[in-house]
Amino acid sequence: MKLDDLQIGIIGLGYVGLPLAVEFGKKYSTVGFDINEPRVQELKSGTDSTLECSSEELGSAPLLTYTSNLESIESCNFYIVTVPTPITDENIPDLTPLKKASEALSQVISKGDIVVFESTVYPGATEEVCIPIIEKNSGFIFNKDFFAGYSPERINPGDKVNRLTTIMKITSGSTPEIANFVDSVYSSVIDAGTHKASSIKVAEAAKVIENTQRDLNIAIINEFAKIFNRLDIDTEEVLKAAGTKWNFLPFKPGLVGGHCISVDPYYLTHKAQEVGYRPEVILAGRRINDGMGEYVATQLVKKLAKEKIHIDEAKVLIMGFTFKGDCPDVRNTKIIDIIKELQDFNMKVDVYDSWASKDEVKNEYNIELIDELKHEEYDAIVLAVDHSETKNMGINRLRSLGKKQHIIYDVKHVLSIGEADIRL
């Protein structure tokens, strides 16, 4: 296959798939396929509810079309799979979307086609889970009739600086020739260049450890914060001081939600356990990060008690619900843990977030977001997400939302040191 012959099919048009489809659609004939019909309709009408692509960006890819009809991707010869890879309630990888996408692919691929997976998985998933499904259902033989690659996505939703084309991309292929071709396809659209890994498994492992390392780095800072809170030392001040050493890593404490950092480590620990190794450090980090919502709520309750503010029926405002700042994604947000814990103390909790979709929050979490901020209403205000909007409000406006006596808890270090009553 030559670059000129490329007909790209992207399976899954979410946070990862859409920007990729747009980039390829500037250069190559590209069809974006998604099983979610409303998602396809919104993209056809020029809107992206994930806010990753503006209408202008969507319009900048003249060779891109969208479909929810599987037959419409039959003529493609280079498929890229970007479907979700969640975990179950028991923290076990749920490969259902990936398996379904593989089944769908087996109905549309032709001899000589290449299938590249981008979804985050554990090392081995592409060749042990996806390829056998395609082989079985298509009757084709792997590395003879069709080929594979793996190129993990590294985008950071909401980040307008580090974009798809400015982040170096890892590539790999099922044979040396295919690895070279996959690499040349990505190099043709990624300005930052590519790193060709020696195998699909290496590329899979690289992605999953990037996020696992990040999760652990945040976990140790969260542990520091818990210690410093007991010692009555401000964590940010300590981090600022320690950060003057060249090799001290600049991580912050916080809630780790979303469907990457808080999920991907479980893919690695699952595989580790399958091969007889019980990971200790990774799971300890997960436990600390998963417990931070409850910790924040407990800290708030203690502070209210200390200030002699009635806990029963106290009114609390939670500023922010998305899993991170300036991003509409509410999947796996840990703010819900704070809310549930406070409600268990019989507090009345209002949640404000102008980034989040009211309908999605209602459907997924049964929470009614408030539209307007009320004055002199709250016993406690929790700055849970570092949206620019919250930062820009400043301490005086935030204090005006509180009753005469109230507590401001700055979880995300949105305010300057000394402005809030408690900080993580």
Ligand X SMILES: NC(=O)c1ccc[n+]([C@@H]2O[C@H](COP(=O)([O-])OP(=O)(O)OC[C@H]3O[C@@H](n4cnc5c(N)ncnc54)[C@H](O)[C@@H]3O)[C@@H](O)[C@H]2O)c1
The footprint of ligand X (CB under 6 A) covers 11-17, 33-36, 39, 82-85, 97, 100-101, 104, 118-120, 153, 155, 157, 260
Tell me if residue 260 is catalytic.
Answer: yes
Pairwise CA distance, residues 300 & 315, whole Å: 12
Q: Which is nearer to ligand X, 51 or 370 (CB)?
A: 51
Q: How far is the CB of 74 from ligand X (least distance, A)?
A: 15
Residue with tokens 């305010």: 415
Nearer to ligand X, 119 or 235 (CB): 119
Residues with Cβ within 8 Å of 423's Cβ and at least 6 positions away in sequence, in order, are 234, 235, 236, 409, 410, 411, 413, 417
Task: Choose the catalytic residue: 53, 76, 130, 260.
Answer: 260
Q: Which is nearer to ligand X, 101 or 297 (CB)?
A: 101
Between 39 and 169, CB nearer to ligand X? 39
- Of all residues in this chain, which one has the CB nearest to ligand X in the complex? 14
Q: How far is the CB of 155 from ligand X (least distance, A)?
A: 5
Give every CB contact of residue 86 below 8 A, 6+ residues apart in sequence: 94, 97, 259, 263
| Residue 99 CB, nearest approach to ligand X (Å) | 8
Nearer to ligand X, 35 or 206 (CB): 35
Distance CA 20, CA 23 (A): 5
- Minimum separation from the CB atom of position 23 to ligand X (A): 14
CB of 108 to ligand X, least distance (A): 11
Q: How far is the CB of 331 from ligand X (least distance, A)?
A: 7
Q: Among residues 33 and 228, whose Cβ is nearest to ligand X?
A: 33
Catalytic residues: 260
